[in-house]
Structure 1
Amino acid sequence: MRLLLIALLLSSFCIAQTNEYSISFENAVHHEASIAITFPELKQKTVTVRMSRSSPGRYAIHEFAKNVFDFKATNSKGEVLEATRPDPYSWEIKNHDGEINVSYTLFANRADGTYSQIDESHAHLNMPATFMFMEGEEHRPIKIDFNVRRDLNWKVASQLKKVSQTTFTAPDLQYFFDSPTEVSDYQLREFMVDGQNIRFALHSDDSAQDFDTYWKKVKAIVLAQKEVFGELPAYDFGEYTFLACYAPHVSGDGMEHRNSTILTDRESLAAGGMEGNIGTVSHEFFHSWNVERIRPADLEPFDFTAANMSGSLWFAEGFTSYYTNLILARTGVITSEDYVKGLNRTFNYVWNSPARDYFNPIEMSYQAPFVDAATSVDPVNRNNTFISYYSYGSVLGLALDLSLRQQGLNLDDYFKAVWNQFGKKEVSYSIQDLENVLSGYAGDAFAKAFFSQYIYDSQMPDYQNLLSNAGLTITQDKNKPYLGLRVNASESGLRIASPTSKGSPAYAAKLNKGDLITAVDGAAITTVDAYNALVKKLTVGQTIAVSYKRFDSDATTNLTVSADPTYTITTDEKADKKARKLKKYWLQEK
């Protein structure tokens, strides 16, 4: 099937008319690019060109058209064509002569996985944020010329098919828009794995020596993840490219694509990125299997005109998040002890959230268009109604892996089975398919229990047993007092800094964000240190009076102290031989 797909893609260049794009950066100092597109041999008398409203790997709406200006359309003779605006994202053009030439200026000044940034250090291009397309002609091949700034020693890095140093092609719009491009004076490292070239283009001020140190970690991650699936994907054109921008003027992010990934962070390698950025490398490279080829059916095909919703993000993003730090531990990039410590934050965020009363992991995934780099101005109630599918899926991945290991199985081999049945063949999957694969691997009863309890419902696995069998302990301090408040100091008292969570003492006492606490049991409290000292002296079950101001009115409420719900996961130094052995094979401890 894959060979047939490639043959069809190659033949499309001979059969279909090619749309030609070019981009130049003369005014990069003011974050502008000049873009020109030729759409030849058009059959429809009225056509629409538009900017995308979404981007591969993101699920929310992004209004990229807002950064476009100086739009012009001409025919093959250079005569100006009238363009009308049926909506904020589109330009409708009539009375052409079979060819339309479009030009416009793009303002771009945010470098991350969604947007583009142009300045005299680089052109960081996310394609949907940069280029228009013509409705109805998405199937056409695309050729693009990058008119690089030679005075700045710029060169081009991309997963697009290379024709020359500055000319590249894509078989269709879906591939073109899934192909971010870095144009800069970047450093490059490469190594071959089973006949395929793994490349890392680094745009930063880091030394070659620091890059070499980082590159060793990246190579270890690539090889360790290959072991999970048993093989690398067959990357198009035999290459995979990391596109990294580590600079103070970019925004921290990571975004997977079919044969490449965007990596951005404000920290250079020398300024903390050596440790701080490597987790994003691990996460995004795992996506070249899980989500790019092991692909949810409800994301196919990706719609560039609307928000994209999937119920499988707990698996596509969450299980990928589980492997992010696990791979770092297996490669020695972090210690196994640091890995265990790192479980705590995510674990507590998920299992102490009241949101499980309302949504299961599938329904949490459905909320991606509202949370994945989405913007809104009205307050939301997410601390009570939402758990990130990244985190939720991660702790479920932990539970599934440890549950399988109790039977002499493991999550790696389950992923191999999913890969062989779906990802390797590039056949998209449903949630039922995931359950069916687990059923074939671990048995019908096991698969049905896991999915019915933890995917279609929001029950909590028996981590006490699972972690104990893996040489870890999980505890809660039943005597530690807890109020459920996060406060900031102000001149008038302590301001509640975030919405209170359902089930907490503060929520039951009807306290909420913005309330100004003036006294506790009659004692004035004005500093965070004084508040923390007071909380330590309280006892579980004790009732205290809290005086506060809301809308400039004085009020008092009674608050009953509860036990701190925080879980603590640690290594069990007294674990038996069997548990230590399981832990060793799980984390691949040397």
Structure 2
Amino acid sequence: MRLLLFALLLTAVTYGQTNSYTISFENATHHEAHITASFPGIKTNTVTVRMPRTSPGRYAIHEFAKNVYDLKATNIKGEILKTSRPDPYSWEISGHDGTVNVTYTLFADRADGTYSQIDETHAHLNMPATFMFMENTEERPIEVTFKIREDLNWKVATQLKKLSDTTYYAPNLQYFMDSPTEISDYKLREYKVDEQNIRFVLHSPDTANDFDTYWKNVQGVVEQEKAVFGELPTFDYGEYTFLACYLPHVSGDGMEHRNSTILTDRETLADGGMQGNIGTVSHEFFHAWNVERIRPDDLEPFDFTAANMSGSLWFAEGFTSYYTNLILARAGIITPEDYVKGLNRTFNYVWNSPARAYFNPIEMSYQAPFVDAATSVDPVNRGNTFISYYSYGSVLGLALDLELRANELNLDDFFKRVWKKYGKTEVAYTIENLEGVLGEYAGAAFAKAYFSKYIYNSEMPDYEQLFKQVGLTITQDSKKPFTGMTTEKSSKGISIARTVNQGTPAYLAGLEKGDLILKVNDKNIEEAEDFNEVIAASKVGEILSIAYERFGETKTATMTLVSDPTYLIEMNTNVKSKVEKARDAWLGKQ
């Protein structure tokens, strides 16, 4: 994946011993694959094979070993070897003759950017969820053979180096685990950009015409993202592959990889995906530069046995999120008006969150192992303590871009500098390195102020002034009353639906998620509309009497209404030509 001997990527030459895998799908109907792994040239008496616990691009623990069974180990003669389980994730094997062959069955029925799914429609393979590896052989080359279902017209699509229609090569384990594979009766579109092949693999029931329309939008994304950095990365083997599964039985997701990306969604192109899925295309392709090659030092190399933590996700994921819809606007896929309208939800989520009192963007990034497709049984208080680093970084990227533009600079050119220094060279960066590049580009004082206020601390930029220069307005309705709670219909009545944010009227009144609202100022609350009508008819500063039920006991509280903190960002259509020109330079085709 990273820190490779890249000469190996450009040839089929291998060195030393090669580990090999074969995977077949005879029982695909019941979501099973049969896998054989062969590890030759073993010198130690006892070896350990293990299933990964994490997957590239995901930072939380995922226990892939739970879906492995019927494991057997044999020597080169086919004789059964002794195996033991030192922990839930690995198998110790001893008594071999220099070769260890391992066979096992894998159950796989979730298609997304982390897991695998096998059925009669496809074999959707994320490698860490599929293949175990042997410790101390991670630098060996790997060959994998896919025994495809010819009766289902399956074909193989992957970023791995093709040796034949069914056998593929990786220079080492890091690259292999970073190479998702789609095997199905897929459709294909491809074109050349600067002598490199960009291809889109589509596994869906959509028509050729719908695919052609979507493919045109994908090409627009590719061209506009290339414009940000000034060039494409040099893709291994001269090719980049989008692997898309748009089917009702997959799970919505997107996951970046070095020369490919996984795109999954329940919506087909004809069923809303034409508009709904293109944003994921934009986000994941941007990662071909930012994350895959502009790589955080604390994610290098990726550890498949433990959670991976980085303090740079506000930049790696968040700044990528800033560009996601900006690229769609520049490519003409959405209008500038729709882009501006789309800023509101993320903006309000970040800047009206009480979580900024606890963690800055770096510390929010550290939370990734707990939130990135992670699971927990016990309730958490993230509504008050966590802001997604995707969203936080996105609004900080917006602020930096507009601050730079106020100084006749821009974020695109900053990214070009980061790309040339840390991406094209593939030298992993630190947060201090990012501040250094910004200082070289915009001045040391500018960089120090930005990082000090917004990265190492949690201050809010002056968006009113930043927006004004590109013809946007930002307002709040001081006369609209606000409670800080959302209600919903439950089996027992009208209840508080979500965690109540700290500092809001409902929080200060002692109300909490799950409380049943019985009365407001002696008015019975039987529907959510009843509650909303009472609040709408009230005034900021008014004190309301609330009767509610908690744990079967009726209680009362008083709540003082405050003005609604929601921000509204809009495009100002009546601006001077200078402002309009600045807005076009920001949102228009590059």
TM-score range, shorter chain: over 0.9
Counterpart of 1:235 in structure 2 is: 235
Q: What are the Cα deviations for residues 34-63 of structure 1, in whole angstroms up to 9, with x where unaligned?
A: 000110010111100000000000000000
The offset of 1:525, in angstroms, is 0.5
Question: Which residue pairs with 2:474 in the alignment?
Answer: 474
Distance across 2 between alignment mates of 1:235 and 1:527: 57
Are the aligned partners of 1:472 and 1:575 in contact in 2 as well (CA < 8 Å)? no
Compared CA separation, residues 577 and 90, structure 1 to 2 (3 A): same
Distance, in Å, in 1 between the alignment partners of 2:4 and 2:33 is 37
Q: Is the 8 A contact 1:10 1:171 kept in 2?
A: no
Residues 41 and 98, structure 1, Cα contact 8 Å, conserved in 2: yes
Give SS of 1:93's match.
strand
The equivalent of 1:462 in structure 2 is 462
Report the Cα distance in structure 1 between the residues aligned to 2:20 and 2:134, rounded to whole angstroms. Answer: 12
Aligned to 2:429: 429
- Counterpart-to-counterpart distance in 2, 1:340 and 1:516: 37
Partner SS, residue 263 of structure 1: strand
Aligned residue in 2 for 1:110: 110
**In 2: Cα distance, 1:61 partner to 1:37 partner:** 24
Structure 1 contact 491–526 (Cα < 8 Å) conserved = no
Question: Is residue 402 of structure 2 the alignment partner of residue 396 of structure 1?
Answer: no
- Matched with 1:134 is 134
Q: Distance in 2 between matches of 1:160 and 1:359?
A: 40
Counterparts in 2 of 1:188 and 1:399: CA distance versus 1, 3 Å:
same
**Alignment of 1:194 onto 2:197:** no
SS at match of 1:439: helix
| Contact 1:336 1:589 (C-alpha < 8 Å) held by counterparts | no
Partner of 1:533: 533
Q: Which residue of 2 aligns with 1:212?
A: 212
Distance in 1, Cα, partners of 2:126 & 2:464: 44
User: For residue 451 of structure 1, what is the amino acid of its counterpart?
Assistant: F
| Cα separation, partners in 2 of 1:231 and 1:22, compared to 1, 3 Å | same
Contact 1:47–1:94 (8 Å) recurs in 2: yes
- 1: CA distance, partners of 2:442 / 2:325: 25
Other-structure match for 2:167: 167
* TM-score using structure 2 length: 0.99
Q: Which moved more, 1:481-490 or 1:243-252?
A: 481-490
- Return the alpha-carbon distance in structure 1 between the equivalents of residues 452 and 409 of structure 2: 20
3-state SS of 1:14 partner: coil
Where does 1:352-367 land on structure 2 (aligned, <5 Å)?
352-367=352-367
Pairwise CA distance, 1:9? 5.2
Q: Please say which of residues 153-162 and 522-531 is displaced more in the overlay.
A: 522-531
Kept in 2, the 8 Å contact 1:492–1:518? The answer is no
Partner Cα distance (2:126, 2:416) in 1: 31
The separation in 1 between residues aligned to 2:14 and 2:123, in whole angstroms, is 31
Q: Which amino acid aligns with 1:330?
A: R
Equivalent position amino acid for 1:236 in 2: D
Answer yes or no: is 1:93 the counterpart of 2:93: yes
Question: Residue in 2 aligned with 1:14?
Answer: 14
AA aligned opposite 2:427: V
Aligned partners of 1:369 and 1:404: how far apart in 2?
33
Counterpart of 2:557?
A: 557
| TM-score, normalised via structure 1 length | 0.99
Q: 2:10·2:236 contact (CA, 8 Å) conserved in 1?
A: no
Whichever residue aligns with residue 405 of structure 1, its letter is R
Partner of residue 249, structure 2: 249
Secondary structure of 2:205 counterpart: coil
Alpha-carbon separation, structure 2, partners of 1:194 and 1:480: 54
Query: Tell me, what secondary structure is at the counterpart of 1:405?
Result: helix
Q: 1:504-529 CA deviation, whole Å, 9 max, x = no partner?
A: 11000010011111000111101011
CA contact (8 A) 1:355 1:387 kept: yes
In structure 1, C-alpha distance between the alignment counterparts of 2:369 and 2:14, rounded to whole Å: 38
Structure 1 window deviating more from structure 2 (384-393 vs 574-583): it is 574-583
Distance 2:472 2:307 in 1: 41
Decide whether the 8 Å contact of 2:246 with 2:269 is kept in 1: yes
Please say which of residues 213-222 and 12-21 is displaced more in the overlay: 12-21
CA contact under 8 A between 2:72 and 2:80: conserved in structure 1? yes
Shift of 1:4: 9.4
- AA matched with 2:23: I
> CA 1:116 to 1:492, structure 2 compared with 1: closer, same or farther past 3 Å?
closer
Aligned equivalent of 1:176:
176
Q: Which moved more, 1:564-573 or 1:7-16?
A: 7-16
Indicate the residue corresponding to 1:223 in structure 2: 223
Separation of aligned partners in 1, 2:305 and 2:490 = 46
Q: CA deviation at 1:191?
A: 0.3
d(CA) in 1 for partners of 2:49, 2:4? 31
- Following TM superposition, by how much is the alpha carbon of 1:398 offset from its aligned partner in structure 2, in angstroms? 0.2
From the superposition, tell whether residues 154 and 492 of structure 1 become closer, same or farther in structure 2 (CA, over 3 Å): closer
1:205 is matched by which residue type in structure 2?
Answer: P
Letter in 1 for 2:346: T
1:335 deviates by: 0.3
Give 1:535 shift.
1.2
1:74 aligns with 2:74: yes
- 1: distance between equivalents of 2:304 and 2:177? 9
CA–CA distance in structure 2, aligned partners of residues 15 and 469 of structure 1: 58
CA RMSD of superposed structures (Å): 1.3
SS at match of 2:87: coil
Superposed displacement of residue 539, structure 1: 0.3
Aligned to 1:86, the other structure's residue is in SS state strand
Equivalent residues of 1:13, 1:171 under 8 A apart: no
CA positional deviation for 1:488: 1.1
Question: What's the counterpart of residue 258 of structure 2?
Answer: 258
Q: Distance in 1 between matches of 2:3 and 2:542?
A: 70
Residue pair 1:60, 1:370 contacting (<8 A) in 2 also: yes
Contact 1:217–1:333, Cα closer than 8 Å, also in 2: yes
State the shift of 1:15 in Å.
Answer: 2.1
What SS is found at the alignment partner of 1:289? coil
Q: Deviations over 1:461-516 (max 9, x none)?
A: 00010001110000000000111111112354311111100011100001001111
Report the secondary structure of 2:69's partner residue: strand
Q: Distance in 1 between matches of 2:3 and 2:306?
A: 31
Query: Which position in structure 2 is the counterpart of 1:379?
Result: 379
1:508 corresponding residue in structure 2: 508
Matched, 1:84 2:84: yes
User: Could you tell me how far apart the structure 2 residues matched to 1:94 and 1:340 are?
Assistant: 62
Letter of the 1:535 counterpart? I
Residue identity matched to 1:189: R
Q: Which residue of 2 aligns with 1:299?
A: 299
Counterpart for residue 315 of structure 2: 315
2:339 matched to which residue of 1?
339
- SS of match in other structure, 2:14: helix
Is this contact kept in 1: 2:10–2:237, CA < 8 A?
no
The 8 Å contact of residues 157 and 243 in structure 1, kept in 2 or not, is answered as yes
For 2:575 and 2:363, locate their aligned partners in 1 and report how far apart those are by CA, in whole Å.
38
Contact 1:490 1:526 in 2 (8 A): no
Aligned pair 1:588/2:585, yes or no?
Answer: no
Tell me how far 1:572 sits from its aligned partner.
1.2
Equivalent position SS for 2:33: strand
**Which amino acid in structure 1 is aligned with residue 392 of structure 2?**
Y
Listed as ranges, the matches of 1:41-52 within 5 Å are 41-52=41-52
Q: Distance in 2 between matches of 1:422 and 1:95?
A: 47
Q: Secondary structure at the match of 1:461?
A: coil
Task: Tell me whether 513-522 or 259-268 shows the greater mean CA deviation.
Answer: 513-522
Q: 2:79 and 2:110 mapped to 1: Cα distance?
A: 35
Contact persistence 2:361–2:456 (CA under 8 A) = yes
1:286 and 2:298 are equivalent in the alignment: no
- Contact 1:311 1:362 (8 Å CA) reproduced: yes
Q: CA 1:13–1:132 in 2, change beyond 3 Å: closer, same or farther?
A: farther
Look up the equivalent residue of 1:500 and give its one-letter code: V
- TM-superposed CA distance for 1:573, in Å, is 2.1
